[in-house]
Structure 1
């Protein structure tokens, strides 16, 4: 199968192109291409290519696809409010959500919706927890502010924040996953502070690494973080206490981290993710 898709969400694409198909990624002027990622994919200069199916992730991409080519629309984001109507409401195509929460909250009208949950390339059980500190991965924490819980981070200090545009600790994001994973694995606990975003792949990667996780019980996190993997609550004081306890007790942290890895492998493994996408795309192609 020849699949055309734009490079929009680096971590998601990293998982998607691990499949058995041929992946075509538009470069300039239509997209950013592979952008240095070591993916098994081909960068193309036009969207007018011989593709069997297209995975669309932005509205403007719909007008760039040759007529008659089967397509699905992948929605990564959570709506601004539960009553918000999706731009493709009452569309005659298939809209794919990455979480059940997003599917629940977007008003898609009569458009057919399908949920294909995230799958993560397993970085392996890297966790050492040698540094008695917390870690978080947040891209653009200043610009995104309360949405990603930037204001809550001081309550989990000492904490190191990674991701794009994070200041002095920044520079390690999805463009350098091995280095990011290695640094995360040295911290004792992973903290997930977003109030209203889709499920962050960095959270699932931390669980795969074997980190215990402390998370706000918002959006899809309630399904992704069982209590035995660390702590999940809407009470920030409770989460801060749990973080301190895990930082102070390496054995407790390691045990919760092992359970986090077991859960992540069982529920967010790569094989199921790729298999579910294969079933959907083959159905769309007909």
Structure 2
């Protein structure tokens, strides 16, 4: 099977391309958002093949995985075939709706021939997809292994563009959590975050790392803090659980489903979360036990084999 998809979400795509197919990713001279090509900071197999728009015009494509509203028109123009009409297609929705959640119409709600695939049950509940068939294929993660050491009495936070995204990612909560433990915030756009938040640099650092270095650095922190108010389900949270990190998270969107009680503390009471971070700092054995439970839960629910099997069933259904 030859599957066309754009390189939009590096972590999700890394899991998806572990399947048995050939994966075609568009590449353009500027390697812009519509033509990033192969990942440079993730390990992708040789089955991921870059093709230019001109090459796609002549390419055999069995399935298109759309991920952004404009990709249907882009695929029709580059392939010369309409997704969902002249070539099988699904629309993969990574995100929770940005607008008034219960009433936000999905961009594919009126599209012909498309199944909308959500990555969480929360997203499926919140998006208005009209009469379109919908389903959920929960995330899968390439297991980084039980890397957690908890050597450093610091908390890891992973979020891209925290200053720009502000309250969405819980950036305004970070000064409060800095009082419970020093924070290391990993992700794009995190440099200088301490000064922007008005906290001491030793209480809050920002670093941007490639994936292979990020996991090692995260695992040395005592706890993973997930302060995000509104997101789909952060793959960094699931990766932290796979590594055996205890989790402290806001009880928003899908977090309550993903993190069982024994794996950490999930609450919307900030004082409870603050105390949980402090508790894990003071009790490394408790942190180890919670992290072991987090890893077991993540492997059971978000393991790569289940993810690939779910996608394989859908691919066979929509391409038969």
TM-score over 0.5 for the alignment?
Answer: yes
**Does residue 1:162 correspond to 2:186, yes or no?**
yes
3-state SS of 1:33 partner: coil
TM-score (norm 1): 0.96
Distance in structure 1 (CA, Å) of the matches to 2:111 and 2:136: 17
3-state SS of 2:92 partner: strand
Tell me the residue number matched to 1:278. 312
3-state SS of 1:191 partner: strand
CA shift at 1:64, angstroms?
2.6
CA deviation profile, 1:48-101 (whole Å, cap 9, x unmatched)? 321110101112111132321111011111012221111221333101101000
CA deviation profile, 1:213-239 (whole Å, cap 9, x unmatched)? 001000000100111111000101110
- Please tell me whether the aligned partners of residues 91 and 110 of structure 1 are also in contact (alpha carbons under 8 angstroms): no
Tell me the residue number matched to 1:209. 243
**Does residue 1:223 correspond to 2:243, yes or no?**
no
Distance in structure 2 (CA, Å) of the matches to 1:90 and 1:51: 23
Residue 88 of structure 2, aligned match among 62, 70, 81? 70
Tell me the residue number matched to 2:158. 137
TM-score (norm 2): 0.86
Tell me the residue number matched to 2:44. 39
CA shift at 1:38, angstroms?
3.4
- Please tell me whether the aligned partners of residues 156 and 183 of structure 2 are also in contact (alpha carbons under 8 angstroms): yes
Distance in structure 2 (CA, Å) of the matches to 1:225 and 1:82: 24
Tell me the residue number matched to 1:59. 69
Please identify, of 1-10 and 22-31, the stretch whose mean Cα deviation from structure 2 is larger: 22-31
Runs of 4 or more, structure 1, over 6 Å off, are none
CA shift at 1:170, angstroms?
2.1
Distance in structure 1 (CA, Å) of the matches to 2:43 and 2:142: 14
- Please tell me whether the aligned partners of residues 184 and 207 of structure 2 are also in contact (alpha carbons under 8 angstroms): no
Tell me the residue number matched to 2:4. 4
Tell me the residue number matched to 1:100. 121
Pairs aligned (count)? 283
**Does residue 1:83 correspond to 2:103, yes or no?**
yes
For the pair shown, which has the larger CA radius of gyration, 1 or 2?
2
Q: How does 1:168-247 map to 2 (within 5 A)?
A: 169-172=206-209, 176-247=210-281
3-state SS of 2:106 partner: coil
| Alpha-carbon RMSD | 1.1
Gaps of 5+ in 1: none
Gaps of 5+ in 2: 193-205
Distance in structure 2 (CA, Å) of the matches to 1:20 and 1:203: 26
3-state SS of 1:184 partner: helix
Distance in structure 2 (CA, Å) of the matches to 1:202 and 1:53: 28
